Amino acid sequence: MVVLILGGNSEIGIAAAEQFANNERAEIILASRNMEEADNKAEELSRKYKIPVHTAAFDARDYDSHQGFYDELDPRPDVVIQAFGILNNQKECQKDFQKARQMLEANLVGAVSILEIIAADFEEKGEGTIIGLSSVAGERGRQSSYIYAASKAGLTVYLDGLRHRLYPSGAQVITVLPGFVPTKMVAGRTSKFGETPLPIAGRDIYKAWKKGRHKIYTGSKMRWIMAAIRNIPESRMLKMRDL
Ligand SMILES: NC(=O)c1ccc[n+]([C@@H]2O[C@H](COP(=O)([O-])OP(=O)(O)OC[C@H]3O[C@@H](n4cnc5c(N)ncnc54)[C@H](OP(=O)(O)O)[C@@H]3O)[C@@H](O)[C@H]2O)c1
């Protein structure tokens, strides 16, 4: 089995890759725009799990390169984990549209661009699994993060539709909705709703694949926390200024 991590330096992506390496003896491809770091991670993973780990250059916002990137992959993946993403500061995005645009492009447009190419291949083959890392943030817009949330809401709906499209072919799409996972993306931030340890996030992603799930939250409590947040009446939500 071959597992491709798009955004190969993602800490959650690597935590999931470790699960596939450990439990399935999977061959891993780390696709990243930072090749030095990806090469180091590949060596580390390969040494730790005694599996082949490759690297490939990939930039989610370089849309024109995506078809060539996928065509040149050898071996081709059976499982793709779309882990790339950025979280720019909300207030800076309000002042500087380029910051908002960068985030919307990386998190949503880049995902659509590369996943459509992979989906076409998996659909034709009638097998393969795409695992998309969206976010609980996309379930309710809040003043503190609504531009990031919009990119993730778009991604969640995109993945829903892609799953619906691919279902008859046998190819699968799994949507992962992590809550707060302490990685470099959220360094210096805290969460009111608790956090999911990185190894648990990786384990939950692997388990979702193993059990053929369609959509999961990481950690055990997030499903219930998000049910409560989604159901806060809008008139009350508007007065909750610390969210
Ligand atoms: N951590 C959380 O609390 C949390 C919660 C909900 C959802 N998520 C989502 O889970 C995914 C993984 O996050 P993480 O916590 O593992 O964060 P992370 O460690 O910061 O990983 C994100 C990776 O995305 C890569 N990336 C960004 N823009 C890219 C681009 N244009 N092309 C290629 N790669 C790009 C970055 O690569 P470089 O190394 O080159 O910068 C980075 O390594 C993200 O989509 C994130 O939005 C995370």
- What domains does the chain contain, in order, with CATH numbers? 2-237 (3.40.50.720)
Q: Is the pLDDT of residue 192 over 90?
A: no
How many whole angstroms from 168 Cα to the centroid of ligand 1? 31
Q: Is the pLDDT of residue 122 over 90?
A: yes
Q: Is the pLDDT of residue 242 over 90?
A: no
Q: Is the pLDDT of residue 243 over 90?
A: no
Residues with CB under 6 A from ligand 1: 7, 9-13, 32-34, 37, 58-61, 83-86, 106, 110, 133, 135, 178, 180-181, 183-186
Predicted structure pTM score: 0.98
d(CA 179, CA 58): 26
* Other beta carbons less than 10 A from residue 224's beta carbon: 10
Candidate from 64, 86, 140 with most ligand 1 atoms within 8 A of CB, to mutate: 86
Q: Which of 6-20, 73-87, 125-139, 186-200 has the lowest mean pLDDT?
A: 186-200
How many whole angstroms from 9 Cα to the centroid of ligand 1? 8
> What totals of helices (H) and strands (E) does the chain contain, helices first?
10, 7
Q: Is the pLDDT of residue 188 over 90?
A: yes
| Sheet strand arrangement including 27-32 | 53-57, 27-32, 2-6, 79-82, 129-133, 172-177, 215-217
Integer CA distances (angstroms), 120 to 4, 51, 79, 109, 221, in order: 16, 28, 14, 17, 35
Give the pairing of strands 172-177 and 129-133: parallel
Give kind and range of the element (H or E) at residue 100: helix 97-104
Q: Is the pLDDT of residue 7 over 90?
A: yes
Candidate from 84, 107, 159 with most ligand 1 atoms within 8 A of CB, to mutate: 84
| pLDDT value of position 241 | 86
Q: To the nearest whole percent, how much of the chain has pLDDT over 70?
A: 100
Which band of pLDDT confidence, cut at 50, 70 and 90, is reported for residue 39? very high
Q: Is the pLDDT of residue 220 over 90?
A: no
Q: Which sign, positive or negative, has the C-alpha torsion 64, 66, 69, 72?
A: negative
The amino acid at residue 182 is P
- Is 110 in a helix, a strand, or coil? helix
| pLDDT value of position 125 | 98
Q: Is the pLDDT of residue 173 over 90?
A: yes
Helices 146-166 and 97-104, packing angle to 10 deg: 20
Tokens encoding 30:
């780390």
